[in-house]
Amino acid sequence: MRSVSYREILRLVWPLALGMANNAIMQFTDRVFLARESTASLEAVLPASILAILFIGFFQSVVAYSGTFVAQYHGAGDPEGCSRSCRAGLLLSLASGLVLALFIPLGRLICDWSGHSPDVLLREKTYYTIVMSGGFFLCAAMAVQSFFTGIGRTRIVFWVNVLGNAANILLDYLLIFGCGPIPASGIAGAAVATVTAQALQFAVLLSFAIPFLKRHPPTSTFHLSSFAFHLKILRFGSPAGIYSVLNILSFAIFVFLTGRVGDMAFAVSNSVFTVNYLLYAPIEGFAVGVGTLVGQCQGAGDPDGAAQACHRTLFLSELYITVASLSVLVFYRPILGLFMSDAATFDQAAFMSLGFVLFVLMVAWQCFDCADVVLSGALKGAGDTRFVMLWMLFAAFGFWLPLLFLVYWKWPTMPALWSTMIAYVVLICFGTAWRWRRGPWRSIRLI
């Protein structure tokens, strides 16, 4: 067994974790700008973005799974396999962009069913339509990011991510509020900024990837074996994509349901969830990193090394989330103050009071959520995507959502609805940990 040191893990993971945090900071800034623009925009952006990600997330996850193949081929010392996997991801991105355009009318219809106020509804539709129209760039950027992650060159991904998000924040300010000849576009400007930044990241990353792809051209580009390889990525990547859809869909139902509690409570909930993502985003980096390490070890035929990499990454991630969560509780007042619009009609003391309660509930589930995300990333890196999908299906739709609707019927308050999240996260965490400990992933071979 090759020992995977904490230093090696940090060297791979820190650019991913900081890159995800950078994404969260960008979204955080985006939401603060929209909160300053209007309360209606703040209420609309979370459900609209979740709805868009609900569709885009499946294709992004399938495309990103090409990076797991890259990691396993890299661990096996096969650069041609890495190149073939990257090209397959880009081809799948092109197909994904075309399919996503067909989902625009369906999403707008779902917005109509939400029951949100007309002003919020109009903004939801606007944001959703623009982001979905740029679905190709979101998927293609993910494909090239996954390639560099798979070969362990995560610093490139980080710095390009910083560039793209800096452009996004600048465009957010210019397009949301307007500047000189640029008219104020509100939430539409935020959506255009997001798509433009993703297109920029894709273009820069592709320019770095092209030399590697030219040096290691695949031996079978348009042959039957190439078609079979694409199907293999779809076979293992589709459960990961369905997992993403189920995760986002269950959360989208939660968000749309909380929108019925009241405008002030909904604005507080959206604000706290924005902060939650700011804390949670680096954990996604840990999950991608552990998936890469597990994939590389599995490709090299070293499941014991994969297990050690997972356990050490889990320890580092739990250490981070504990410190970050406690910090939020200490500084909750200035954090919530960022979301207080001067034009808001609700009581600021009530906003702060409810915000603190939701922060406490958020902290209560963070450590369990962190463990589940990292262990799920490890299972997906080993190819055990079917279990991850099926367990998500049971935990979210067999347990959480029935509980959520029961609580909404009996106690339609925001703290009561948020409390159901704790029970759900604890359940799914223990199931994922049980699967990892049993170890059937050790015998799975992707390549």
Q: Give, to the nearest 10 degrees, the angle between helix 224-258 and helix 79-101.
A: 50
- The pLDDT of residue 225 is 53
Residue 392 zone, left/alpha/beta (φ > 0; ψ -120 to 50; rest): alpha
- The pLDDT of residue 343 is 45
- The pLDDT of residue 189 is 87
pTM of the model: 0.80
Which pair of tokens denotes residue 237? 């990547």
Q: Quick one: CA torsion of 212, 213, 219, 221, rounded to 10 degrees?
A: 170
Q: Quick one: CA torsion of 346, 352, 356, 362, rounded to 10 degrees?
A: 50
- The pLDDT of residue 227 is 66
Phi, psi of 384 (to 5 degrees): -85, 55
* Separation of alpha carbons 398 and 3, rounded Å: 40
pLDDT in tens, the chain (447 residues): 667 788 888 888 888 888 877 777 777 787 778 877 777 777 788 788 888 888 888 888 888 888 888 888 888 888 888 888 888 888 889 888 889 988 898 888 887 776 677 778 888 888 989 989 888 998 999 899 999 988 888 899 899 988 988 998 899 888 888 877 788 788 888 889 989 998 999 999 999 988 888 887 766 544 445 667 777 788 888 888 888 888 878 887 887 788 778 778 888 888 888 788 888 888 988 998 898 898 888 888 888 888 999 999 999 999 999 999 889 888 888 888 877 764 456 677 888 888 899 999 988 888 899 999 999 999 998 888 899 999 999 999 999 999 999 999 888 888 999 999 999 999 999 999 999 999 888 888 877
- The pLDDT of residue 113 is 79
3-state secondary structure of 179: strand
Residue 200 exposure: Cα atoms within 13 Å on the Cβ side: 17
Residue 383 zone, left/alpha/beta (φ > 0; ψ -120 to 50; rest): left
* Separation of alpha carbons 133 and 430, rounded Å: 38
Q: Which of 97, 202, 226, 219 is nearest to 148 (CA)?
A: 202
Q: Which of 260, 258, 264 is nearest to 40 (CA)?
A: 264
Residue 21 zone, left/alpha/beta (φ > 0; ψ -120 to 50; rest): alpha
* Separation of alpha carbons 282 and 24, rounded Å: 9
- The pLDDT of residue 351 is 83
Strand partners of residue 179 = 182
Angle CA 160–163–169, to nearest 5:
140
* Separation of alpha carbons 102 and 79, rounded Å: 36
- The pLDDT of residue 282 is 87
How would you write 345-389 as a 3-class SS string? Answer: CCCHHHHHHHHHHHHHHHHHHHHHHHHHHHHHHHHHHHCCHHHHH
CA distances from 400 to 252, 358, 403 (A): 13, 18, 5
Contacts of 334 (CB under 8 A, 6+ apart): none
Report the length, in residues, of the chain: 447
* Separation of alpha carbons 261 and 239, rounded Å: 34
